[in-house]
Amino acid sequence: MSTPNEPSFRESVDIMFNRAVALMDLPPGLEEKIRVCNATYTVRFGVRLRGQIQTFTGYRSVHSEHMEPVKGGIRFALGVNQDEVEALAALMTYKCALVEAPFGGSKGGLHVDPREYDEHEMELITRRFAYELIKRDMINPAQNVPAPDMGTGEREMAWIADQYKRMNTTDINGVACVTGKPTNAGGIQGRTEATGRGVQYALREFFRDTEGVAKAGMSGTLDGKRIIVQGLGNVGYHAAQFLAEEDGCKIVGIIERDGALVDDRGLDVDAVRNWIGGHGGVSGYPDGTYVENGASVLEKDCDILVPAALEGVINLSNAERVIAPLIIEAANGPVTAGADSVLREKGTVIIPDMYANAGGVTVSYFEWVKNLSHIRFGRMQRRQEEARHQLVVDELERLSRHLGDSWSMTPDFKDKYLRGADELELVRSGLDDTMRAAYQSMASVWHDRGDVDDLRTAAYLVSIGKVADSYRAKGL
Ligand code: NAD
């Protein structure tokens, strides 16, 4: 999506990396080792569909194996190519390091438009792609664990897990070969919403950072903030829905493939999502103004811009006109390196992709751990926790009988306090904690180092430092 005179997506990631390492004191050899992509496997395979063989091209790229398994989604889209997969794999390395998920970085992609095939055809294509990767250990619970990305979801992950199990019948940890599975097939509660939920937690943490909020020229809390979101898919939908429903934000613009909807009163995110489901796009939606040139809405007045579709959408051709004071990169690479410089010059604060959309890999990590431990989170502790809380409640009730009417418990305290945490609550709590800790590690660099004036450079400094430490510990 970037303009012709701009670097490619992978070069953009390298430029941002180089800007950060220039501020570090790494031995040159190590710097190069961390930057380069270790390996990219390209596969071309045929599937018999509609009476003839169709050939598909897929990739799995491994950026860094300083920790294993390596981790990263599989994307199904027509834009998939080697450059993109390598850029995304590099971002996975930095993302995992930043949120302390113990993985190296990887990414996969298949050049296909999933909307052109029915479910049975997609299953054949997905299983065949998975077969090619599994037989080379590029899908394996100990070595390489994919997850959903653009164009893939629970359904594809369940097919991949099943394919692995068919080919590795005695691997007791087989279900951990992929994350983002449905809960009835080894998944974890809260994975589907995780990336959008992480965007919400990231914004909440940003608005707790008064120094950061002031740097964006903003004030107050999330309540009442006007948001424009691009892409109402898995990430964009969940982020927009949670921010509107739980934080009092107004979704004043939604940009999709076929155009955009705007409404200063706030759009009903669920209603728009349902409309897209039934009509294939936003055009014709009755409750909002339709704008045919969707990308122009990126330049509209709002408090927070949430690009949640694809890379390169904010580039040298439009960066100057993007006026939102705060951009949170829910998608990977939505701002090109060139646009990043323009926006930094203008004082726009960008919450970078490697942090903003790390909720997905964080909960994938929880799912992988759950699969390897073969037990649901909370199963051992929940009733014990409730029993201990019951002791406190019994004691309070005993005291209140002595004190009479002068003291009583607030009406729903007992119910809330007694209930032990279920898996979803534990997952959300772990995700919230991760997003807060990672933000603070970036923000302390951003605020305390005189030579760092943006969150992206701060994020790179933190994550490259961690990757370098791992390599050093290995004696490299
Ligand atoms: P998705 O396929 O569920 O949704 C993408 C949405 O963007 C769709 O609604 C699609 O119609 C829309 N879209 C596509 N092209 C567009 C265009 N040109 N203009 C406007 N809208 C367009 O994908 P997703 O899983 O939500 O992923 C979106 C982004 O988030 C990607 O960059 C992906 O790498 C990143 N991401 C996803 C996850 C995850 O857990 N799914 C995790 C981390 C990062």
Phi, psi of 346 (to 5 degrees): -80, -10
What is the chain's Cα-based Rg? Answer: 23
Do 242 and 200 form a contact (C-beta atoms < 8 A)?
Answer: yes
**Assigned domain for 98 exists:** yes
Of 392, 362, 318, 355, nearest to 205 by C-alpha is: 355
User: What are the strands of the beta sheet with 326-328, ordered from one edge?
Assistant: 289-291, 259-262, 250-256, 226-230, 304-307, 326-328, 349-351
**Assigned domain for 465 exists:** no
Q: Are both 271 and 180 inside the same structural domain?
A: no
Give the whole-number percent of the chain exceeding pLDDT 90. 91
**Assigned domain for 341 exists:** yes
Q: Are both 209 and 352 inside the same structural domain?
A: yes
**Assigned domain for 368 exists:** no
Phi, psi of 279 (to 5 degrees): -120, -5
Number of other CB atoms surrounding residue 54 within 10 Å: 14
pLDDT of residue 253: 98
Beta strand 144-148 with 250-256 is unpaired
Q: Are both 212 and 263 inside the same structural domain?
A: yes
The three-class DSSP label of residue 331 is coil
Cα(11) to centroid(ligand 1), Å? 21
Pocket test for ligand 1, best of 61, 96, 234 (most atoms within 8 A of CB): 234
Residues marked as catalytic: 107
Quote the CA–CA distance of 84 and 82 in Å, as a whole number: 5
pLDDT of residue 10: 94
Name the residue type at position 187: G
Pocket test for ligand 1, best of 96, 310, 434 (most atoms within 8 A of CB): 310
Distance between alpha carbon 143 and the CA centroid of its chain, in Å? 21
Of 93, 87, 77, nearest to 9 by C-alpha is: 87
Q: Are both 56 and 149 inside the same structural domain?
A: yes
Quote the CA–CA distance of 338 and 272 in Å, as a whole number: 33
pLDDT of residue 1: 57
Q: Are both 100 and 73 inside the same structural domain?
A: yes
Give the whole-number percent of the chain exceeding pLDDT 70. 99
Give the mean pLDDT of 372-378.
Answer: 95
**Exposure string over 57-72, b if 16+ CB within 10 A, otherwise e:** bbbbbbbbbbbbbbbb
C-alpha distances (whole Å) from 350 to each of 60, 302, 304, 466 are 29, 14, 10, 22
Quote the CA–CA distance of 10 and 284 in Å, as a whole number: 37
pLDDT of residue 405: 72
Enumerate residues 6+ apart whose C-beta is below 8 A from 10: 37, 83, 84, 86, 87, 90
Confidence (pTM): 0.95
Quote the CA–CA distance of 67 and 77 in Å, as a whole number: 28
Helix or strand (DSSP H, E) at 108: strand 104-111
Give the mean pLDDT of 419-427.
Answer: 93
Do 372 and 172 form a contact (C-beta atoms < 8 A)?
Answer: no
CATH number assigned to the domain comprising residue 335: 3.40.50.720
| Domain end call among 143, 162, 187 | 187
| Domain end call among 307, 324, 359 | 359
Longest dimension (CA), the chain: 83
C-alpha distances (whole Å) from 174 to each of 130, 142, 169, 180 are 14, 10, 8, 14
CATH number assigned to the domain comprising residue 139: 3.40.50.10860
Q: For the chain, what is the total number of helices (H) and then of strands (E)?
A: 16, 12
pLDDT at 3 over 70: no
Locate the ligand 1 atom nearest the alpha carbon of residue 334 and give its number.
32
Q: Are both 169 and 201 inside the same structural domain?
A: no
**Assigned domain for 54 exists:** yes
**Assigned domain for 414 exists:** no
For 161-193, the pLDDT digits (tens) are 999 999 999 999 999 999 999 999 999 999 999
Residue ranges around ligand 1 (CB below 6 Å)? 148-151, 195, 230-236, 255-257, 294, 308-310, 330-332, 357, 360
Quote the CA–CA distance of 318 and 344 in Å, as a whole number: 14
**Assigned domain for 212 exists:** yes
Give the mean pLDDT of 452-462.
Answer: 97
Locate the ligand 1 atom nearest the alpha carbon of residue 88 and give its number.
34
Q: Are both 201 and 144 inside the same structural domain?
A: no
Quote the CA–CA distance of 255 and 291 in Å, as a whole number: 9
Residue nearest to atom 5 of ligand 1 (CA): 233
Q: What residue ranges in 78-127 does DSSP mark as E strands?
A: 104-111
pLDDT at 2 over 60: no
| Domain end call among 302, 326, 359 | 359
Locate the ligand 1 atom nearest the alpha carbon of residue 233 and give its number.
4
Q: Are both 168 and 198 inside the same structural domain?
A: no
Residue nearest to atom 20 of ligand 1 (CA): 256
Q: Are both 156 and 249 inside the same structural domain?
A: no
> If you average pLDDT over every residue of the chain, what do you get?
96
Cα(231) to centroid(ligand 1), Å? 6
Give the mean pLDDT of 81-93.
Answer: 97
Is residue 4 very low, low, confident or very high in pLDDT (cuts 50, 70, 90)?
low
Is residue 473 very low, low, confident or very high in pLDDT (cuts 50, 70, 90)?
confident
Domain interval for residue 160: 39-187
Q: Is the peptide bond before 69 cis (omega within 30 degrees of 0)?
A: yes
Quote the CA–CA distance of 296 and 172 in Å, as a whole number: 51
pLDDT of residue 403: 83
Is residue 96 very low, low, confident or very high in pLDDT (cuts 50, 70, 90)?
very high
Q: Are both 110 and 206 inside the same structural domain?
A: no
Give the residues across from 76 on adjacent strands: 110
Number of domains in the chain: 2
Q: Are both 252 and 317 inside the same structural domain?
A: yes
The three-class DSSP label of residue 260 is strand
Pocket test for ligand 1, best of 98, 113, 149 (most atoms within 8 A of CB): 149
**Assigned domain for 338 exists:** yes
Q: Lowest mean pLDDT: which of 41-45, 336-340, 359-363, 394-398?
A: 394-398
DSSP states along 265-316? T---HHHHHHHHHHHSSSTT-SSSEEESSGGGGGGS--SEEEE-S-TTSB-T
Q: Are both 244 and 315 inside the same structural domain?
A: yes
Residue nearest to atom 8 of ligand 1 (CA): 233
